[in-house]
Amino acid sequence: MAETSTPHEEKTPPKKQLSIEEILRPLLEMSGIKDFVDLELHLYTARGGALDRFRIRTYPTFLRTLGPGSYQITISEPRVEGMDSPPFKITFISVGLDYDAKTGWSVISVVTDWEEEIYPGADSEQLKDRASKIGRRIVTVLQFVVLIKDFAGLFGVH
């Protein structure tokens, strides 16, 4: 009996999902955060008196979970335009954000841990001002990401 062979079927590899870092890195670069070592995005939800923390790793997951709530972006070792030379060396930036479908994003906190070198004119008010500017930049980035989602929905892409 002769063997029959089936034609070789080419299998397409599964599509790689964009990581949250891959989608946010170029947007953060355009907003003045030139480079960083790591980026994490978390969603906080309250359930039954407990606070749950969920790490969002991919862009599709971000779009699926986007809803009212509190988010936190932590950027490790950022190089921020205007803050990448003395007197500042930032080790991390953590931005707490609230999202509401009607009002959009709002910054609730910006926390950073920097090593301040001795340099004239580096007072705490300047540092607070720079930290709040970073927070506003990150909100602008997230507003852009949500806008992409809204446009995709208009064209039937989910």
Residues 72-79 have a mean pLDDT of 87
Residues 130-156 have a mean pLDDT of 66
Helices of type H across the chain: 20-30, 59-65, 124-154
More confident residue, 141 or 3: 141
Contact, 78 vs 90, CB < 8 A? Answer: yes
pTM exceeding the 0.85 threshold for the entire prediction: no
- Residue 154 scores a pLDDT above 60: no
| SS3 annotation, 112-143 | EEEEECCCCCCCHHHHHHHHHHHHHHHHHHHH
- Would strands 79-80 and 50-56 be described as parallel, antiparallel, or unpaired? unpaired
First and final C-alpha spacing in the chain: 51
More confident residue, 157 or 83: 83
- Residue 158 scores a pLDDT above 50: no
Contact, 97 vs 73, CB < 8 A? Answer: yes
- Residue 119 scores a pLDDT above 90: no
Residue 77, amino acid: E
Residues 105-110 have a mean pLDDT of 76
More confident residue, 150 or 106: 106
Contacts of 115 (CB under 8 A, 6+ apart): 88, 89, 91
Residues 36-50 have a mean pLDDT of 86
At 124 the pLDDT is 63
